[in-house]
Amino acid sequence: MPIVVAGSINVDLIQSVEALPRPGETILALASARLPGGKGANQAVAAARAGAAVRMIGAVGDDESGAWMVAQLAAADVTTKDIATIEGALTGAAYIAVDRSGENQIIVASGANTSLSPAMVGAVADTEIRVAQLEVPVATVATFFAAPGDGQTRRVLNAAPALPEAISLFALTDILIVNQHELAVFLDLDRPPSTPQEALAARALICRENQLIVVTLGASGAIAVRADSAVHVPAFPVVPLDAIGAGDCFVGALCAMLDQAGEAGVTDEGLLTFASAAAALCTQKPGAIPAMPLRSEIEAFIATHVTGSRPI
């Protein structure tokens, strides 16, 4: 059965600049690029490249960008029959300015993503893994997760961007994935956790039996937290070229590993190792979707880079 991703589909319009503009200032870009993006689309492609069968539920506008995005997803072997074209709407877009130091400014125009309604996501009873993010309406994600399933159904929420009202979704979620900044929002912390030990605060978000909370910590790796256990996997030692999409790659690869493990199952350490390796590889190429690695590349990378893990 396929992984089903319900989420955002955006066009990333990236402008490389010498320095970010000040208020009221007009500057010229050094270079421009149009790349496929959106957290939902990124995660769908990451899972497909990592070997899973993936179906995307989303919405685009009836513009050239919408047709282009659907074609990009189809070319990545993502099933696109459930992507709706919204008449009169513009496809979602992210306007990104990046300076020479890597600092950026981003404005997201949600466009057609806001039209992804609960009625569009209810027919998922035949799927074992459902994946969602928070760039589409919270009510839509709630319907997506609440649709009937069976004992094998897993609901994976990447709670990004961090919307406090999305806490109501956590009780519907089997695996919750956040980064340290999002964790700080949901727990109302003074600052994001910077160590695996500090990130154990994520245990406070557990609200159902056998729930798994995954916290990514950038250069400090990632942790998997359950009610009675926790494991830390260090980050793979790479020098990032471009970190755009790495978090989405982590989510998609984790879901692909969960899917392919089947009834045999996979350890929390195994999930984190595979997802972390995929994310590390993603940072070695520019862009998000163009940088998502193949399963064979992930496995080869793991075979030559041992990070180890430990309980915390």
pLDDT digits (tens, 9 = 90+) for 198-237: 999 999 999 998 999 999 999 999 999 999 999 999 999 8
pTM score of the predicted model: 0.93
What is the token pair recorded at 156?
């994976």
Amino acid at 223: I
Q: Which structural domains are found in the chain, ordered by start?
A: 3-20+29-311 (3.40.1190.20)
Could you tell me what percent of the chain has a pLDDT over 90?
Answer: 79
If you ran DSSP here, which 8-state letter would residue 201 be given? G
Q: Distance between CA atoms of 309 and 312, rounded to whole angstroms? A: 10
Overall average pLDDT of the 252-257 stretch: 98
Give the count of alpha carbons within 13 A of 15, CB side only: 16
Whose structure tokens read 């989405």?
Answer: 248
If you ran DSSP here, which 8-state letter would residue 130 be given? E
Q: Where are the alpha helices (DSSP H) in 50-137?
A: 64-75
Q: Cis omega (within 30 of 0) on the bond before 161?
A: yes
263 pLDDT band, cuts 50/70/90, is low
CB neighbour burial string for 20-45, b if at least 16 within 10 angstroms, e if fewer = eeeeeeeeeeeeeeebbbbbbbbbbb
Query: Does residue 123 carry a pLDDT above 90?
Result: no
Residue 248: active-site member: yes
Query: Does residue 307 carry a pLDDT above 80?
Result: no
Longest dimension (CA), the chain: 58
Query: Does residue 262 carry a pLDDT above 80?
Result: no
Q: Distance between CA atoms of 42 and 52, rounded to whole angstroms? A: 14
Q: What is the pLDDT of residue 241?
A: 78
Given 174, 248, 259, 268, the catalytic residue: 248
Q: What is the pLDDT of residues 30-63, one digit of tens each?
A: 999 999 999 999 999 999 999 999 999 999 999 9
Average pLDDT, the chain: 93
Tell me if 186 sits within 8 A of 159, measured CB to CB.
yes
- Please, what sign has the CA dihedral across residues 254, 256, 259, 262? negative
